[in-house]
Amino acid sequence: MSSTAERRDALKTVYEQAMGCVRCPQLAATRRTVVFGAGNADADLLFVGEAPGANEDRSGLPFVGQAGTLLDRLLAEIGLARSDVFVANVLKCRPPGNRDPLPAEIANCQDYLLRQLELVRPRLVCTLGNFATKLLRGEPVGITRLHGREEVRVIGDRAVRLYPLFHPAAALYTPANVEVLRADFARIPALLALDPPPPPEPAAAPAPAIPETRIAEPAASAPTQPSPPVAAAPPEAVPEPPSVSGVPAGQLELF
């Protein structure tokens, strides 16, 4: 999809699917709302956090508590506002008690995040904390070793520049890390000014199959009757993802 309007409409469709998601029974039973993400649907900069907290679960918007206040302040220091970026999370539902996301929950929810990356098409993706960084890098290396070190990774059909950062909530618990996060944020404008990474090389076509050599067999003494054709089983129906009508106030308001 090349048109911004087409991508925006597709993003709204993904939002509606996520709002009715029940892939994680515990999260579906305990959440107040799905926190899909919000911001500029054509943003050059996209942030990926961990999961909604209590404030986000009440409002339906990501990063609205103290961590969100710090995120807004750091953005303002580099000349950006929340309306310039898109903010999402690895999980779209709050884990009970703000516990860590479970591996099965991350696996169930990652399709929504990958579709957001595909449709927003950012030039720079900032992963906030361990869970987002490990998921999008596909490796177990933690944020302490990786923060402030950008790299190019292929995600889906695009090469994107990943920039791991400490999560603002974690930085609030360790005041020294706020200054580390501020220093890493200061590099974002320069990273946004870089040319986009070149597209990934297309996958190599599989080698053509070598025809099997058949050995002629002697003619049979009597013709054999062909076996009756076997009717093919009808394809299994794939259920449509649930959708909801209407958009809660505040959600997707910048689209």
Q: What is the pLDDT of residue 200?
A: 86
Q: What share of the chain is helix, strand, coil (3-state, %, to 5)?
A: 40, 10, 50
Find the helix or strand (DSSP H, E) in which 86 lies.
strand 86-89
Domain membership of residue 22 as a residue range: 4-192
**CA geometry: angle at 177 spanning 186 and 113, to 5°?**
70
d(CA 30, CA 26): 6
Q: Is residue 212 part of a domain?
A: no
Domains: count for the chain = 1
The pLDDT of residue 236 is: 38
* 240 part of a folded domain: no
Is 207 part of any domain? no
Residues of the chain scoring pLDDT < 70: 1-2, 203-255
Enumerate residues 6+ apart whose C-beta is below 8 A from 32.
57, 58, 94
214, part of any domain: no
For residue 31, is it within any domain? yes
pLDDT of residue 250: 52
**CATH label of the domain that carries residue 166:** 3.40.470.10
Domain membership flag for residue 138: yes
Within a domain: residue 223?
Answer: no
pLDDT value of residue 204: 57
Q: Partners of 133 in the beta sheet?
A: none
Pick left, alpha or beta for residue 37 (phi over 0 → left; psi -120 to 50 → alpha; otherwise beta): left
The two three-digit tokens of residue 129, written as one number? 């904390």
User: What distance in Å separates the CA atoms of residue 49 and residue 185, rounded to the nearest whole number?
Assistant: 15
Task: Confirm whether 197 is domain-assigned.
Answer: no
